């Protein structure tokens, strides 16, 4: 490809050039949400990050299959209720069927992703729909000698695995230390007595009597272990070795390490060429997460209902807020940051609209192509969207200046600007212009009428009337702009 893309591979901890296994095809898997709660701001980060990656790969000409799963089989909780399925527990609390809960939160997740414009996935497989594949995979791992059954549950034998393969290659964990239980002195982990060794993890769990979500298997009526779904579904849709696996940094261990161990012990090959991890969103410097109870739901951002929010923020503002930081840096939530993002985004969108109103000149005083090149360079450098945006503001300056008459653009320049904004603002960064919704022509006709009436008042120096029109419109979130010899309006 003309523009070599470099990405940070967590496996090697270095920036590597991205070279697909079977160009032009690219397989990409991202760990989806566990749908037992409303999606929160933390969810926005990985799905936005990898949405942009998939967009960029497609833009570069690759045929991308992007798989993002839904985890709806529930996992063990290690608090009071031993061995109880999270989803089943929630169901009892709300007196709903487990699958009703799953449906509700899946739907909420989709709504939130739509607002963030993150719905460009190719396949969204559900764990509950792939029990057979998971069972088959477990059978094979047992046959290969890397797993054992114990009291109806099946565990991966990490010690045995570690003899043939290096366990911990992704996370840097050392089996000897895990065996010694370093750091776990104060923890009471569930199901330890069934395991041969502490680092072993469940591939299949026997369901207790009160456990509602359960499926038959050769070992027991039960449910799959946490890591096996991703291994089974990624292998099914992307093959036993695929290009990119993404997710939050908090999944690096044990989840992704477990995936590697399962896949290798089943298929004998490394499942993933490039592992990518986004950093966490923090609030007051601390990770925003379910377990800490300090998260803000995306829905609450959209309607501004959370007490920590000074106002509502729409999906595009949140998307832009995320993109102003690099995906591998931690990002701290703040109203100030969101408000700044909202204004900045508005400036970009206003400027994009202005491109269509530019008058071409015979000569040019600007250099649009260098902006485009700089944007590509930034994307190629581990998807540095923050830098892309900084260059887009140079585009904003050029457009605004050209409109104001302090810069000159040729018709070729205008075409380049149009292409630049279409490519980067909309296609790659996936931003949407949210103002263009209402029945355009009718509203525009009404506005022209109002604007001309106000112009008459102004010509008569009847500023009381003209200001009233402007102020009342502003209350309806319509802002008038008195420019040199014309008046324009924007909906806010």
Residues of span 68-127 touching RNA by CB under 7 A? 71, 75-78, 86
Q: Which is nearer to RNA, 26 or 178 (CB)?
A: 178
Using rule CB under 7 A, residue 309 touches RNA: no
Identified binder of RNA from the candidate list 58, 59, 214, 397, rule CB under 7 A: 397
Using rule CB under 7 A, residue 255 touches RNA: yes
Using rule CB under 7 A, residue 183 touches RNA: yes
By CB under 7 A, what part of segment 219-248 binds RNA?
A: 226, 247-248
Closest CB 102 distance from RNA, rounded Å: 13
Closest CB 479 distance from RNA, rounded Å: 6
Compose the 141-160 pattern: x for residues touching RNA by CB under 7 A, - for all others.
Answer: --------------------
SS3 label, residue 124: coil
By CB under 7 A, what part of segment 15-54 binds RNA?
A: 31, 33-34, 37, 42-43, 45-46
By CB under 7 A, what part of segment 345-364 binds RNA?
A: 347, 350
Structure tokens, 177: 């230390």
Helix 385-404 vs helix 315-323: angle between axes, to the nearest 10 degrees?
110
Q: Which is nearer to RNA, 62 or 200 (CB)?
A: 200
Question: What is the phi/psi pair of residue 272, to 5°?
Answer: -135, 135
Q: Is the peptide bond before 164 cis (omega within 30 degrees of 0)?
A: no
Closest CB 185 distance from RNA, rounded Å: 8
- Would you give the DSSP letter of residue 82? T
Return the C-alpha torsion angle 306, 111, 388, 432, nearest 10: -110
Identified binder of RNA from the candidate list 21, 96, 325, 478, rule CB under 7 A: 325
Report d(CA 205, CA 407) in Å as an integer: 68
Report d(CA 400, CA 212) in Å as an integer: 61
Cα distances from 456 to residues 5, 476, 483, 487, in angstroms, run 57, 22, 16, 13
Q: Which is nearer to RNA, 31 or 141 (CB)?
A: 31
* Closest by CA position to 36, among listed 96, 106, 127, 123: 106
Q: Which is nearer to RNA, 45 or 264 (CB)?
A: 45
Q: Which is nearer to RNA, 143 or 182 (CB)?
A: 182
At which residue do the structure tokens 């594949």 appear? 133
Identified binder of RNA from the candidate list 159, 309, 340, 447, rule CB under 7 A: 340
Q: Is 360 left (phi over 0), alpha (psi -120 to 50) or beta?
A: beta
Q: Is 87 exposed, middle or buried (0-12, 13-18, 19+ CB in 10 A)?
A: buried
Contact window for RNA (CB under 7 A) among 114-122, 211-219, 234-242, 474-482: 474-482
Q: Which is nearer to RNA, 25 or 169 (CB)?
A: 169
- Contact, 295 vs 41, CB < 8 A? yes
Q: Which is nearer to RNA, 239 or 289 (CB)?
A: 289
Identified binder of RNA from the candidate list 107, 184, 192, 369, rule CB under 7 A: 184
């Amino acid at each position: 490809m003309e523009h070599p893309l470099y990405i940070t591979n967590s496996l090697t901890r270095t920036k590597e050039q991205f070279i697909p296994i079977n160009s032009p095809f690219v397989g990409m898997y991202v760990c989806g949400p566990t749908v037992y709660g409303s999606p929160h701001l933390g969810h926005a980060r990985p799905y936005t990050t990898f949405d942009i990656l998939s967009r960029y790969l497609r833009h570069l000409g690759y045929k991308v299959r992007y798989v993002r799963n839904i985890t709806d089989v529930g996992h063990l909780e290690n608090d009071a209720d031993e061995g109880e399925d999270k989803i089943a527990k929630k169901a009892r609390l709300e007196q709903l069927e487990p699958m009703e809960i799953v449906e509700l939160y899946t739907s909420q997740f989709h709504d939130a992703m739509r607002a963030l414009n993150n719905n460009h996935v190719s396949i969204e497989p559900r764990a509950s729909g792939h029990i057979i594949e998971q069972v088959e995979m477990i059978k094979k791992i047992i046959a290969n000698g890397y797993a054992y059954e114990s009291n109806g549950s099946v565990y991966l034998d990490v010690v045995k695995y570690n003899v043939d393969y290096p366990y911990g290659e992704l996370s840097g964990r050392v089996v000897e230390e895990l065996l010694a239980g370093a750091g776990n002195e104060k923890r009471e982990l569930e199901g330890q007595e069934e395991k041969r060794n502490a680092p072993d993890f469940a591939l299949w769990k026997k369901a207790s009597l009160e456990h509602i979500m359960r499926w038959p298997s050769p070992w027991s009526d039960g449910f799959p272990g946490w890591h096996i779904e991703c291994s089974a579904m990624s292998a099914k849709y992307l093959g036993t070795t695929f290009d990119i696996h993404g997710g939050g940094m908090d999944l690096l261990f044990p989840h992704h390490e477990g995936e590697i161990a399962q896949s290798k012990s089943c298929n004998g090959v490394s499942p993933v060429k490039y592992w990518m991890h986004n950093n966490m969103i923090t609030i007051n410097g601390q990770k925003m997460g379910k377990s800490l109870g300090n998260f803000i739901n995306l829905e609450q951002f959209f309607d501004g209902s959370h007490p920590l929010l000074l106002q509502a923020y729409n999906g595009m503002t949140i998307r832009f807020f995320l993109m102003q930081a690099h995906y591998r840096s931690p990002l701290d939530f703040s109203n100030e940051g969101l408000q700044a993002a909202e204004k900045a985004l508005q400036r970009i969108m206003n400027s994009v609209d202005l491109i269509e109103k530019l008058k071409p000149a015979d000569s040019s005083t600007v250099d649009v192509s260098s902006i485009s090149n700089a944007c590509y360079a930034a994307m190629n450098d581990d998807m540095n969207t923050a830098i892309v945006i900084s260059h887009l503001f140079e585009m904003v300056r050029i457009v605004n200046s050209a409109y104001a008459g302090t810069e000159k653009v040729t018709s070729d320049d205008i075409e380049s600007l149009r292409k630049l904004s279409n490519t980067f603002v909309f296609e790659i960064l996936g931003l949407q212009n949210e103002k263009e919704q209402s029945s355009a022509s009718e509203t525009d006709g009404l506005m022209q009428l109002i604007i001309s009436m106000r112009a008459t008042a102004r010509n008569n120096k009847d500023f009381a009337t003209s200001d009233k029109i402007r102020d009342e419109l502003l209350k309806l979130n319509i802002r008038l702009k008195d420019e040199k010899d014309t008046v324009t309006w924007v909906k806010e």
